[in-house]
Chain A
Amino acid sequence: MQADPLDGTTELVRLVTCGSVDDGKSTLIGRLLYDTKQIFADQLEHVEETSRRRGDGYVNLALLTDGLRAEREQGITIDVAYRAFTTPRRRFQLADAPGHVQYTRNMVTGASTADLAIILVDARHGVVEQTRRHASISALLGIRHLVVAVNKMDLAGYDEARFREVADAVAELGTRLEVPDIAAIPIAALHGDNVAERSGAMPWYDGPTLLEHLESVEIAADRNLEDGRFPVQWVIRPMSAEHPDYRGYAGRVAGGVWRAGDEVVALPSGGRSRVVAVETLDGPLDAAEPQMSVTIRLEDDLDVGRGEMLAHADAPPTVTRRFEATVCWMSDRPLVPGARYAVKHTTRTVRAVVDEVFDRLDLETLEQVRADRLELNDIGTVRLRLSGPLAVDAYRRSRATGAFILIDEATNDTVGAGIVVEATPG
């Protein structure tokens, strides 16, 4: 079933899947792709042939998701893979985060852009340590919708009582992590039960299938329509005969709704002006909402360049040279006090020194424990001191203006992903 092929108006929803190989994640993804008819004949033929050669004894849909030679050879998943699938109602973009190798780094990567996380659990094992980790990383990264796919119900005898037990544990986890929307769905990915098709084996379950759930979760309300934030990416100044005086600030709306007439302040410089036009190649817009790439023109010629943030003047972000942040560390070399990195935040890059490491998250107990360094795949709280001011918001209020990356200037590697916990002016 396809949406009207000429109609490009379905909503884009970004998903992340987490779980280990043993939970049947690859099988679930293969099943979602197969049941939504995203698998083409040549891909299926290839999978059938490989399944036969490996002696799998069945068409191993998990093979659809192996991308790299080393992954196929070793039967493991190394890196985040991105896949698309479409239903008549929605266009899904799925980041598939491997469960065991580098799982924190991969999961943070996949979750950073996701609207919804699908967490796999094995019905026989229920909510385990890893489930709690996946859920807590999802919650930390601001994902407001979690769905726990309780898989392998076939191996749990399609037992209602077993599912209820797991679902109760899931609900409790949701409450503890303060996730606004968490659901549990009993499935058997290998056979397709309750993935796209309703299961005949679980008549006691009257909730949505996984796909119905994905199609109906309300994500539009997650956007921050309140805090007007517009990091300037590029200044368009044609200086041509046709446009001698044109000066447009190009960027992607990070928050709020932008309209002509809005009072704005440019930060950190502090200049004030008013929006004359919000426009694109196609002409002026009545309003621009979060995530839209647009060009804003101002009444006054402020000296504003890349790295400045335009903000609605009535509720600006915090301009600061220091903040506390939660950092996911992605490098083999540990993060220690005194270390220096480049911080890229929206379109502005400054240098930072690590003032202090406070604690790290014990991913087994989910408790904060004292720490003086962060090792690879650790998540912990640090205080950064900056070489120049940044205009930031707390991440829990504004994902786009509360997130940053740390870059090691010696190697040019991205070594950390950070979210602003709290910033005080200064």
Chain B
Amino acid sequence: MSTLSHLDALESEAVHVIREVAAELERPVLLFSGGKDSIVLLRLAEKAFRPGGFPFPVMHVDTGHNFPEVLDFRDRRVAEMGERLIVASVQESIDRGRVVEETGPRASRNRLQTTTLLDAIEQHGFDAAIGGARRDEERARAKERIFSFRDDFGQWEPRAQRPEVWDLYNGRVRRGEHVRVFPISNWTELDVWQYIAREGLEIPPIYFAHEREVFARDGMLYAASGHVELEDGEEPFPASVRYRTVGDMTCTGAVPSEARTLAEVVSEIAASRVTERGQTRADDRFTEAAMEDRKRIGYF
């Protein structure tokens, strides 16, 4: 009998994880950003529950600075699937005074998302949030469990994680606590792209090379948009670029690319010598432990 391919094995593991969350937690939610990893999560949820519906809603934390192409895609995709979408808005958190908008040329709403996310989890009474984080993304994530416990402040304590043995997950929480669950923990960026190709999944157009007005900052290319103040000497110019990750427009960099098809994108990723976060995420460049620090206080 043939053995499973690595994509089949990773898929089966992830589907098992998603079914475990649904079965063992009272009110899970699946976090969907419109990015490639959460697109894979939606597909895996279909694999887990069809022909039934999802036993949880889908939630997007919208910074208000998201790429319009991605928001269009998000709305269309969730509607096509007949599932329920909740949008948690950073703008609303600002308007209600929960968070204060950063100012200046380097202002970003990336950090504000954490408050919006934790507020939404509390407001809806969610006890599990399924996310698309992967262990290959970043060093702190390499150490995180698939079922990752959060206390009632939403905090991650890396030194006191529950042992995770075999595929026997412990998702027990008390009121106010929750678990973050990462079904594609063991996938790499390349696995994600191979899976998107294999399953023929639609992705937002910004993942393919396109002409865009960009400006250079800190060795990265950013979209020129109303959301970013330019500093002296930063001149927008047109370039053929694609996005390798999809996040807030203010802190997600584009990469120069001519890859216009899925096959070309996958080849580009396979040949890439820079990590996706290193190449495209300003938020991870501040300190050596930037992600660990944000995760500890409740970031995705």
Interface residues of A (CB under 8 A from B): 2, 5-12, 40-43, 66-70, 72, 78-84, 86, 90-91, 93, 105, 108-109, 112-113, 220, 225, 233-234, 236-238, 240, 242-243, 246, 248, 250-252, 257, 280-281, 287, 289, 291-293, 306, 330, 344-347, 399-400, 403-405, 407, 412-414, 417
Contacts and interface: CB of A to CB of B under 8 A. Distances in A.
Interface in B1-26: 1, 3-13, 15-16, 19-20, 22-23
B159 interface: yes
A43 B159 contact: no
A82 B163 contact: no
Contacts of B266: 5-6
B65 to A, nearest CB: 25
Contacts of A113: 165-167
B172 interface: yes
Contacts of B48: 234, 250, 293
B181 to A, nearest CB: 14
Q: Which residue, of B3, B22, B272, has the highest number of chain A Cβ atoms within 10 A?
A: B3
A79 B139 CA distance: 12
Given A40-B274, A112-B165, A67 B4 contact: no
Interface residues of B, number: 72
Given A6-B266, A240-B51, A287 B1 contact: yes
Contacts of B46: 281
A5 B52 contact: no
Contact of B288 (A72, A82, A233, A293): A72
B272 A40 contact: yes
Given A42-B279, A233-B16, A257-B1, 5 more contacts: A40-B273, A79-B161, A113-B165, A240-B52, A293-B16
B139 A417 contact: no
Q: Which residue, of A225, A287, A400, A414, has the highest number of chain B Cβ atoms within 10 A?
A: A414
B201 interface: no
Contacts of B170: 344, 405, 407, 412-414
A142 B53 CA distance: 38
A219 to B, nearest CB: 8
B291 to A, nearest CB: 10
B101 interface: no
B168 A293 contact: no
A91 B162 contact: no
A90 B47 CA distance: 25
B46 to A, nearest CB: 6
Given A40-B278, A66-B139, A67-B140, A8 B4 contact: no
Interface in B230-272: 263, 266-267, 269-272
A201 B1 CA distance: 41
3 closest cross-chain pairs (CB), A and B: A5-B270, A42-B278, A8-B7
B197 interface: yes
Contact of A412 (B172, B193, B275): B172
B194 interface: yes
Given A40-B274, A79-B143, A238 B12 contact: no
Contacts of A10: 5-6
Given A40-B273, A236-B52, A12 B168 contact: no
A113 B274 CA distance: 30
Interface in B51-65: 51-53
A412 B177 CA distance: 11
B107 interface: no
A275 B273 CA distance: 49
B186 to A, nearest CB: 6
A292 B143 contact: no
A67 B289 CA distance: 9
A289 B163 contact: no
A292 B158 CA distance: 31
B289 to A, nearest CB: 4
B191 A8 contact: yes
A108 B168 CA distance: 13
A101 to B, nearest CB: 10
Nearest to B46: A281
Contacts of B191: 8, 84, 91
B208 to A, nearest CB: 16
A220 B9 CA distance: 13
A280 B47 contact: yes
A258 to B, nearest CB: 12
A170 to B, nearest CB: 26
A108 B158 CA distance: 18
A108 B166 CA distance: 9
Contact of A8 (B5, B173, B263): B5
A5 B23 contact: no
A306 B136 CA distance: 33
A346 B166 CA distance: 10
Contacts of B278: 40, 42-43
Given A238-B53, A281-B47, A400-B166, A12 B19 contact: no
B190 interface: yes
A412 B135 CA distance: 25
Contact of A109 (B164, B193, B279, B292): B164
Contacts of A83: 135-136, 142
Nearest to B194: A8
Contacts of B96: none
A81 B7 CA distance: 21
B185 interface: yes
A82 B289 contact: no
B144 to A, nearest CB: 9
B15 A412 contact: no
22 contacts: A5-B194, A5-B266, A5-B267, A5-B269, A8-B5, A40-B273, A43-B275, A69-B289, A78-B158, A83-B136, A84-B135, A90-B6, A225-B1, A233-B20, A233-B23, A234-B23, A243-B51, A243-B52, A257-B1, A400-B166, A400-B167, A405-B166
